[in-house]
A = this chain, B = another copy of it.
Amino acid sequence: MEQVNVTLTETIKVLLDDKKFSTLRDILVTMKPYDIAAIFENLQDEKMPILFRILPKELAAETFVEMDDETQEFLIHGFSDSELKEVVDELFVDDAVDLIEEMPANVVKRILRQADKDMRKQINELLKYPEDSAGSIMTTEFIVLRPDMTAEMAIKRIRRTGVDKETIYTCYVTDANNKLIGITTVKDLLLAEDDELVKSIMEENVISVTTLADQEQVAQMFSNYNFLALPVVDNENRLVGIVTIDDAIDVIQEEATEDIEKMAAVLPSDKPYMKTSIFGLYKKRVPWLLILMLSATFTSAIISSFEAVLANVLILSSFIPMITGSGGNAGSQSSVSVIRALSLGEIQFKSIFLVLWKEFRVSILCGITLAAANFVKLLLFDLHGQENAFMIALVISLTLVGTIIMAKLVGSSLPLLASKVGFDPAVMANPLISTVCDSLSLLIYFGVAKLILHL
């Protein structure tokens, strides 16, 4: 869709300059909120309020939700209180909460002042829940049915109360104490006989989460069970909210990005790349770079402690990057496979021995292949004409086998151990593992060299 916006943005800028407001409105109402929001982000600040006022009320609110926080904040500053109220009234509670979490205190005050009493209460409820918890991404607007309603009554109720609900398709059946006793869907209600009772239609084995459940786990449940919405209950199993699938998808994307960033030794960010400031990126990247650079002290120490060996056979030093590199790559292959399997819930810590045994066999295959290829390459090219080329080639090739086996075992076990002690496995990925593998592979290298070359 991006491509579309880019060209459209130009047209819209022109129409704005020419004050062709009715034309603009005609165009905008044919567009999706996400695309309109993208256009706002490409607009000069002073144009934004003008364009925003052209939007019909509901579309305006839907578009507002899709904007990044800079744009939202800028618009709010330009809003009159009544304009702000119009937007806030149209927001779903969970979107209002997302907004408030991004805004500075003074803006938050203004927003809450415009929200009607009931909404303000709900917002404050939701703000209590910890970040990344089910409570923090749930909405408190959902359809509640009673077990002894008929399908017909249920449908009537949905038609009466559904208009301001984020989703009406999954309905929640609660008893007098507001405890969740079942769920049913509009589909089942529509396909049932008019006089069938909700309690006979509803699914009683409800899967629900508590308000404190981790959002990643919640999102995973959506993809496992194909839910459209998931009920959130308190400790007494009272229904307090629902997580809708659109929010679950956002979480899935977020968590994937977070894992990927951690694997590349970047501190997880909550902002899109292009929206992150230079200093913001710096702060996310430099810590790991420093840690990894300092930890490279070990490799330096190891190498200088073997200076004697190197001085004897200087050529050995020229294969250090190849050996550490191969080790690092082999290690990150294993760690990433394990990390992903962990975050998709395919394996847990208890499978560690299965995993190690698997990785061990794979590493032998990989190690021998690499060593063989490398041995030939060394004798034919790199070491051609070099004195005792054969022995040196042997050293390097044996080192490769050892390094690959070591790297794959380290790479697969570290993330599992991390998950066991409650660390995030993704942090164990790639760079950290390569630093460990670098040191170990050098020890293997020089060990083998001393042994075979009798140094």
Contact = CB atoms under 8 A, between A and B. Distances in A.
A117 interface: no
A90 to B, nearest CB: 15
Contacts of A299: 318, 321-322, 325
B362 A282 contact: yes
A178 interface: no
A124 interface: no
Contacts of A245: 228, 245, 249
A435 to B, nearest CB: 7
A259 B274 CA distance: 20
A333 B264 contact: yes
Number of copies of this chain that the complex holds: 2
Interface in A108-132: none
A329 B326 CA distance: 15
Interface string A303-330: 1100100110011011111101110111
A411 to B, nearest CB: 9
A325 B293 contact: yes
Given A274-B347, A358-B281, A261 B294 contact: no
A200 interface: no
Nearest to A259: B260
Residue of A264, A281, A348, A382 ringed by the most chain B CB atoms within 10 A: A264
Contact of A431 (B293, B307, B329, B374): B329
Contacts of A365: 278-279, 282, 286
Interface string A209-233: 0000000000001111110100000
18 contacts: A1-B221, A1-B224, A169-B186, A226-B246, A252-B252, A259-B260, A264-B429, A265-B333, A273-B346, A274-B354, A289-B369, A289-B404, A293-B322, A297-B381, A320-B321, A321-B442, A328-B328, A332-B430
The 7 A-B pairs of least Cβ separation, nearest first, read A296-B322, A303-B318, A264-B336, A256-B256, A273-B341, A226-B246, A299-B321
Interface of A: 1-3, 30-32, 34, 155, 158-159, 162-163, 168-169, 186-187, 190-191, 205, 207, 221-226, 228, 245-246, 248-250, 252-253, 256-257, 259-261, 263-266, 272-274, 278-279, 281-282, 285-286, 288-290, 292-294, 296-297, 299-301, 303-304, 307, 310-311, 314-315, 317-322, 324-326, 328-330, 332-333, 335-341, 344-348, 351, 354, 358, 361-362, 365-366, 369-370, 373-374, 377, 381-382, 400, 404, 429-431, 434-435, 438, 442
